[in-house]
């Protein structure tokens, strides 16, 4: 691919760089301002993946207007029919999995196997959630009065604003988009500015599947577009995945405007490695949990809480394996750990590594450096890093780093380990390696997280179970599973009186 030449005003077409558009009311359009931004490959900054419209409040207005115009028709389309279109979408995603994965690795950096998993998760989510089109169960119950019928059904909430992150560029948009659609809502997506192409791929597939114009709209861009969406009067719901700082600001704005808001934010997930664990299995799980997606998962295993009896053995094996992980461009099949997403992320992660080095007790056991030479020179690469002998209260043990860094904390009894795991402000995912069924069940009971694993790492959630966390991770909602329907629909209680006379609930005595 030829290098892009820097345009002075940001408006001129760059040679050899593909141009993508917003999708509004079924049309592919440029931004109202005519401004663009570039999507850069994090493994090689000289590779420009494409240029995308830099959208502002005017673009958001247009997208919301399109979503509003199509809302009644889509809401009245029978749910099983909506689902049929979504099944077709699943087919298209399946057929294009390879291309989507390659394009995702190019714009986001994670290795091809993982981007394949990301697309697969979108496919799974689409098939599973489309199935709800023939369920969307409500319920009936008995009324207090004779000749009266009582029931409950789900109704759509209206226009939904979906704000998505960079780390799961197709899976996370699908977690929001598919349930929103099956429930009968229309949507505007503000895609992650580092990964706009994967959202465009998903939305193009929606167009090809036959989702009517205006039902799905996409605006590309940065915080300006996101803020306009959150503040828009006609948007009834915001579903957000991303940083805790942004999520809290969104929550404040939504509270002021009385919008429904679903938040999925940070994590500081831990694996307990008990003294009876299968150590080889625990080392493999820890590597995968800590360094998969270069640690850029809300579910990443960023703390390893290890029993003192097996501490030395575990740490030796872990450090040896981490030192051998192959860092590189995710398109190379030999690569195990790709780059991090951008300069800002790189600075933040390296900042935490410095904090870890300066904290009294922790030892930097392996890694700790940016990789800047040779094949790494144009990318955002950081060595997989392990701090050992850490104290539970250190900043690297408490704060989300969102990079290829994990912290090993020793413990002496299981209650202490559980306390360490729970003693952070987040509550997304936790795990325990143990061969003792009693200890496994005890930990399952006591770990206060939204997701909990036994004998595997803190990552790998499946789409038919609820996804989300306790405490600072979210605001009580769950994505995926059937639980996500509670975000994207509201209950309507319906009473039908067929007695032919006035019957007053709570007032009239009913004769027996
Ligand atoms: C995230 O961690 O940001 O459970 C999402 C997993 C994936 C989704 C992760 N299925 O690891």
Over residues 355-365, the pLDDT tens digits come to: 999 987 899 99
Q: Is residue 199 assigned to a domain?
A: yes
Q: Is residue 496 assigned to a domain?
A: no
The pair of structure tokens assigned to 194 is 């580092």
Q: Which atom of ligand 1 is nearest to the CA of 171?
A: 8
* pLDDT score at 361: 80
Which mutation among 243, 269, 297 tests ligand 1's pocket best, with the greatest number of atoms within 8 A of CB?
297
Give the domain-ending residue among 203, 237, 265.
265
Q: Based on the domain organization, do 205 and 278 belong to the same domain?
A: no
Question: Which whole-number Å values give the CA distances from 378 to 343, 344, 347, in the listed order?
Answer: 11, 15, 15
**If residue 52 lies in a helix (H) or strand (E), which one and from where to where?**
strand 44-53
Residue 3: pLDDT over 80: no
Q: What dihedral do alpha carbons 389, 393, 399, 405 form, nearest 10°? A: 0
* pLDDT score at 360: 76
* pLDDT score at 16: 81
Which among 171, 183, 238 has a CA at the least distance from the CA of 483?
183
CA of 461 to the centre of ligand 1 (A): 6
Band (pLDDT 50/70/90 cuts) for residue 497 is very high
Q: In the chain, how many domains are there? A: 2
Q: Is residue 117 assigned to a domain?
A: yes
Give the domain-ending residue among 245, 265, 285.
265
Q: Which atom of ligand 1 is nearest to the CA of 463?
A: 10
Which among 217, 239, 215 has a CA at the least distance from the CA of 77?
215
The pLDDT of 76-80, averaged and rounded, is 98
Give the domain-ending residue among 248, 265, 282.
265
CA distance 509 to 505: 9
Mean pLDDT value across the chain:
96
CA of 168 to the centre of ligand 1 (A): 7
The pair of structure tokens assigned to 165 is 């992150």
The pair of structure tokens assigned to 46 is 């000289």
Q: Which atom of ligand 1 is nearest to the CA of 121?
A: 10
φ, ψ (nearest 5 deg) of residue 332 = -80, 120
CA distance 482 to 124: 14
The pLDDT of 239-255, averaged and rounded, is 97
Q: Based on the domain organization, do 180 and 208 belong to the same domain?
A: yes
Which among 274, 189, 193, 195 has a CA at the least distance from the CA of 235?
189
CA distance 386 to 388: 6
CB 155 within 8 A of CB 492: yes
Q: Enumerate residues 6+ apart whose C-beta is below 8 A from 232.
A: 60, 61, 64, 161
Q: Based on the domain organization, do 210 and 125 belong to the same domain?
A: yes
Q: Based on the domain organization, do 360 and 307 belong to the same domain?
A: yes
Percent of the chain topping pLDDT 70: 97
Q: Based on the domain organization, do 231 and 277 belong to the same domain?
A: no
Cα radius of gyration rounded to whole Å, the chain: 25
CATH number for position 390: 3.40.309.10
Domain that residue 343 falls in:
270-454
**Torsional sign, CA 90, 239, 233, 201:** negative
Q: Based on the domain organization, do 89 and 220 belong to the same domain?
A: yes
The pLDDT of 200-228, averaged and rounded, is 98
Q: Is residue 508 assigned to a domain?
A: no
Residue 6: pLDDT over 50: no
Q: Is residue 483 assigned to a domain?
A: no
**Torsional sign, CA 199, 200, 201, 207:** positive
Catalogue the active-site residues. Answer: 264, 298
Q: Based on the domain organization, do 152 and 299 belong to the same domain?
A: no
CB 240 within 8 A of CB 264: yes
Question: Which amino acids bring their CB within 6 angstroms of ligand 1?
Answer: 121, 167-168, 297-299, 459-461
Q: Based on the domain organization, do 252 and 295 belong to the same domain?
A: no
* pLDDT score at 359: 84
Residue 475: pLDDT over 90: yes
Band (pLDDT 50/70/90 cuts) for residue 7 is very low
CA of 484 to the centre of ligand 1 (A): 16
Which mutation among 110, 167, 459 tests ligand 1's pocket best, with the greatest number of atoms within 8 A of CB?
459
Q: Is residue 314 assigned to a domain?
A: yes
CA distance 115 to 143: 51
* pLDDT score at 65: 98
Residue recorded with tokens 């704005």: 253
**Torsional sign, CA 43, 47, 50, 54:** positive
Q: Based on the domain organization, do 220 and 365 belong to the same domain?
A: no
CA of 360 to the centre of ligand 1 (A): 32
Residue 13: pLDDT over 50: no
78, with CB counted inside 10 A (0-12, 13-18, 19+), is exposed
φ, ψ (nearest 5 deg) of residue 439 = -70, -40
Q: Based on the domain organization, do 383 and 400 belong to the same domain?
A: yes
Q: Based on the domain organization, do 234 and 85 belong to the same domain?
A: yes
Half-sphere exposure of 474 (CA within 13 A, CB side): 25
The pair of structure tokens assigned to 215 is 């039902």
First-to-last CA distance in the chain? 83
The pair of structure tokens assigned to 169 is 């560029």
Dump strand ranges (E) for 265-340. Answer: 269-273, 301-307
Which mutation among 125, 265, 299, 457 tests ligand 1's pocket best, with the greatest number of atoms within 8 A of CB?
299
Q: Enumerate residues 6+ apart whose C-beta is below 8 A from 499.
A: 145, 146, 147, 148
CATH number for position 171: 3.40.605.10
Q: List pLDDT tens digits, range 378-423.
A: 999 999 999 999 999 999 999 999 999 999 999 999 999 999 999 9
Q: What dihedral do alpha carbons 191, 195, 200, 206 form, nearest 10°? A: -70
Q: Is residue 315 assigned to a domain?
A: yes
Q: Which atom of ligand 1 is nearest to the CA of 165?
A: 3
Helix axes 308-323, 279-291, angle to 10 degrees: 50
Q: Based on the domain organization, do 50 and 199 belong to the same domain?
A: yes
Q: Is residue 409 assigned to a domain?
A: yes
CA of 433 to the centre of ligand 1 (A): 19
Provide the whole-model pTM: 0.95
Q: List pLDDT tens digits, range 296-336.
A: 999 999 999 999 999 999 999 999 999 999 999 999 999 99
CA distance 5 to 145: 75
CA distance 424 to 433: 20
**Secondary structure of 341-388 in HEC code, one letter for each residue:** CCHHHHHHHHHHHHHHHHCCCCEEEECCCEECCHHHCCCCEECCEEEE
């Amino acid at each position: 691919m030829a290098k892009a030449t820097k345009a002075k005003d940001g408006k001129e077409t760059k040679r050899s760089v593909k141009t993508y558009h917003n999708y509004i009311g079924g049309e592919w359009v440029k931004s109202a301002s005519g401004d663009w931004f570039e999507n850069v490959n994090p493994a090689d900054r000289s590779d420009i993946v494409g240029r995308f419209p830099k959208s502002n409040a005017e673009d958001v207005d247009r997208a919301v207007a399109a979503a509003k115009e199509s809302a009644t028709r889509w809401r009245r389309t029978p749910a099983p029919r909506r689902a049929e279109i979504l099944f077709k979408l699943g087919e298209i995603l399946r057929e294009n999995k390879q291309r989507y994965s390659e394009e995702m690795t190019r714009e986001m950096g994670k290795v091809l196997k993982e981007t394949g998993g990301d697309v697969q998760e979108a496919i799974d989510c689409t098939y599973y959630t489309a199935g709800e089109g023939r369920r969307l169960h409500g319920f009936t119950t008995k009324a207090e009065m004779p000749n009266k019928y009582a029931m409950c059904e789900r109704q759509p909430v209206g226009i939904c604003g979906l704000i998505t992150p960079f780390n799961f560029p197709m899976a996370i948009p699908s977690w929001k988009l598919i349930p929103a659609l099956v429930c009968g809502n229309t949507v505007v997506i503000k895609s992650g500015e580092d990964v706009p192409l994967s959202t465009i791929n998903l939305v193009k597939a929606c167009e090809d599947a036959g989702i009517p114009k205006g039902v799905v709209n996409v605006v590309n861009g940065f915080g300006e577009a996101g803020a306009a969406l959150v503040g828009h009067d006609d948007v009834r719901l915001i579903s957000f995945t991303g940083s805790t700082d942004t999520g809290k600001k969104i929550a404040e704005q939504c509270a002021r405007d009385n919008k429904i808001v679903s938040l999925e934010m940070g994590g500081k997930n831990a694996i307990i490695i008990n003294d009876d664990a299968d150590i080889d299995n625990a080392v493999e799980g820890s590597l995968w949990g800590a360094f998969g997606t270069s640690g850029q998962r809300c579910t990443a295993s960023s703390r390893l809480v290890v029993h003192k009896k097996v501490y030395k053995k575990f740490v030796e094996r872990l450090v040896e394996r981490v030192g051998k992980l192959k860092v590189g461009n995710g398109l190379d099949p030999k690569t195990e750990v790709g780059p991090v997403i951008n300069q800002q992320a790189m600075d933040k992660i390296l900042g935490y590594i410095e904090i870890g080095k300066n904290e009294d007790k922790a030892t930097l056991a392996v890694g700790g450096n940016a990789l800047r030479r040779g094949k790494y020179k144009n990318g955002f690469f950081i060595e997989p890093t392990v701090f050992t002998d850490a104290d539970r209260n250190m900043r690297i043990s408490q704060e989300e780093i969102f990079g290829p860094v994990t912290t090993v904390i020793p413990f002496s009894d299981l209650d202490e380990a559980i306390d360490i795991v729970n003693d952070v402000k987040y509550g997304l995912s936790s795990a325990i390696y143990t061969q003792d069924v009693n200890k496994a069940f005890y930990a399952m009971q006591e770990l206060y997280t939204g997701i909990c694993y036994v004998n595997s790492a803190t990552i790998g959630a499946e789409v038919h179970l609820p996804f989300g966390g306790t405490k600072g991770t979210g605001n009580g909602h769950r994505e995926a599973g059937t639980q996500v329907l509670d975000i994207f629909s509201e209950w309507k209680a319906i009473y039908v009186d067929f007695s032919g006379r006035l019957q007053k609930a709570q007032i009239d005595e009913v004769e027996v």
